[in-house]
Amino acid sequence: MNNCSLYENTTKIIPELFSVEVSLNDCENFFKLINKFIRFSECYVFLINPESIQFKNSYKGRTKYKYDYTIDITKDLFQLIFNTKKRILDNNSKLIKILNLQSNYYALSGLSIRGSVYGFVLYGKESIFTDDEIISLKTCTEVLSYKIKENELSNVFKIQTKALKDAVKETNEAYKTIKVQNKKILSADKVKNEFLASVSHELRTPLNAIIGFSDILKTQFYGELSDKQTEYVNDIQTSALQLLGMVNEILDISKIEANAVKLIKQYFEISRPVIETTNMLMPLVKKKNINLTYHIVKDIDIYADYQKIQQILYNLLSNAIKYTPEKGKIEINVSNTYKNVRISVKDNGIGIDKKYHKKIFGKFVQLEDAFYKKETSTGLGLTITKYLTELHKGKIRVESEKGKGADFIVILPIEEK
């Protein structure tokens, strides 16, 4: 297949790839579609854990490992996986030998969302991959990254919906003799469920597609962009990220109200969620020319739910970005004592009047300030952050004065309790 046809087929197939149903346990149709124009004999999907990788799926491949099997790997192999320059592995590679794979050559493509790598795909064949095939596989794998995460979020929404329905059913049985109140509860929950279903289906899927396509456009794989086009692509991406954040907050609060939030704890270095969160929000930081820095006094292992800690950081940092003026300054400082880790997200933005310090952690709170009112917000971010912090048996507080910036401080226990 010549270069021209490879580029053309890659361009044509991306919309079709976005339409394919994908999950971590079923990627066959997705890989079958790619295999029509990029020939490979087998491929394997892995997730990355703090000290290991987990085998999740394969296409035409044979290995001694069963799905969901966890394989411990060394730090040098982690560096290999995260090394964007090392994309071709032969059968003498240490990683290939550990996985006991049989093809002569493998192309490694990372699964990532906005710079945060959470897994990788190995495409294998007998002859070496060309540079054009590597670029095309990378593009297709970026689409797969978004499809997998979209499917995971959809499954979470289904759990939330079931929990809400069960809660409504119990409420109805408990108050069935009080007809007026019962009608009000049913009406409120019906509106709530319909709204959540509409938000999830009508907004989340196209938003992920918008973010995915804008990421691909920024790579300039399909042609160079002018300065004005690059500006517009960045505007599209930042606006989509902001809207997706609002949708996620609404779904998160519904899960909290349904008491469906569970912690999945593990040991991990506190630097990892800090770095990944700053990478995710960098488009919003760059748009406002904010000077964002982070300082970790001593990197330590903490026993906590990785995703929840990342969400705490995401909410605090996105708030700081939102209420910090252009060319402002944000500092993330992480320190620890013998028992606790202290995370500070400090900005030099508009600040918060002391009379609001306790109120801001309440649900749907909007401050009586002209600047706050013109910013898009659900008023749920700090409520969710406080809940997740206290779920870890931690504490959160704010130190701020109006016009003098704000410092949100989270204290979390280091060891299992």
**Dihedral sign, CA of 80, 85, 87, 92?**
negative
Residue 192: predicted pLDDT:
61
pLDDT digits (tens, 9 = 90+) for 315-344: 899 889 988 999 999 999 999 888 899 999
Evaluate if residue 7 carries a pLDDT over 90: no
Evaluate if residue 405 carries a pLDDT over 80: yes
| Distances 312 to 71, 319, 394 between C-alpha atoms, Å | 29, 11, 12
Evaluate if residue 411 carries a pLDDT over 90: yes
Coil, helix or strand for 71? strand
Mean pLDDT (whole number) for 308-314 = 90
Mean pLDDT (whole number) for 362-368 = 57
Residue 371: predicted pLDDT:
44
Evaluate if residue 85 carries a pLDDT over 90: no
Q: In sequence order, which residues have a C-beta less than 8 Å from that of residue 38 and are 6 or more positions away?
A: 6, 123, 133, 136, 137, 140
Pairwise CA distance, residues 353 & 404, whole Å: 10
Among 151-160, 259-268, 373-382, where is mean pLDDT lowest? 151-160
Residue found under tokens 């069935």? 176
| Choice between 386 and 239, residue whose per-residue pLDDT is larger | 386
In terms of Cα–Cα distance, which of 17, 298, 304 is closest to 142?
Answer: 17
What is the DSSP code (8-state) at residue 203? Answer: I
- Give the Cα-Cα-Cα angle 362, 367, 372 (nearest 5 degrees): 125
| Choice between 12 and 16, residue whose per-residue pLDDT is larger | 16
Give the number of C-alpha atoms closer than 13 A to the C-alpha of residue 130, restricted to the C-beta side: 10
Q: How confident is the model at residue 157 (pLDDT cuts 50, 70, 90)?
A: very low
Mean pLDDT (whole number) for 386-399 = 91
Evaluate if residue 370 carries a pLDDT over 50: no
Helices and strands (H and E) in the chain: how many: 13, 13
pLDDT digits (tens, 9 = 90+) for 161-195: 565 566 556 656 655 556 666 566 666 665 665 56
Percent of the chain with pLDDT over 90: 20
End-to-end C-alpha distance for the chain, whole angstroms: 59
In terms of Cα–Cα distance, which of 74, 78, 84, 28 is closest to 48?
Answer: 78
User: CB atoms < 10 A from the CB of 316, how many?
Assistant: 27
Phi/psi of residue 145, nearest 5 degrees: -55, -50
Residue 290: predicted pLDDT:
93
Length of the chain: 417
Evaluate if residue 111 carries a pLDDT over 70: yes
Residue 23: predicted pLDDT:
77
Residue 174: predicted pLDDT:
59
What is the DSSP code (8-state) at residue 26? Answer: B
Residue 141: predicted pLDDT:
86
Q: Is the pTM of this model over 0.85?
A: no
The per-residue pLDDT of the chain, averaged, comes to 79
pLDDT digits (tens, 9 = 90+) for 209-263: 777 777 788 777 777 888 888 888 877 877 777 777 676 666 666 666 666 678 8
**Dihedral sign, CA of 126, 128, 132, 135?**
positive
Q: How confident is the model at residue 110 (pLDDT cuts 50, 70, 90)?
A: confident
pLDDT digits (tens, 9 = 90+) for 62-80: 888 888 888 888 888 888 7
Q: How confident is the model at residue 373 (pLDDT cuts 50, 70, 90)?
A: very low
Residue 280: predicted pLDDT:
81
Q: Rg of the Cα trace of the chain?
A: 23
Residue 170: predicted pLDDT:
63
CATH of 265-413, one of 3.40.50.10440, 3.40.50.300, 3.30.565.10, 3.10.420.10: 3.30.565.10
Superfamily of segment(s) 3-142: GAF domain (3.30.450.40)
Phi/psi of residue 50, nearest 5 degrees: -55, -40
- Give the Cα-Cα-Cα angle 352, 356, 360 (nearest 5 degrees): 90
Pairwise CA distance, residues 391 & 413, whole Å: 11
Residue 295: predicted pLDDT:
94
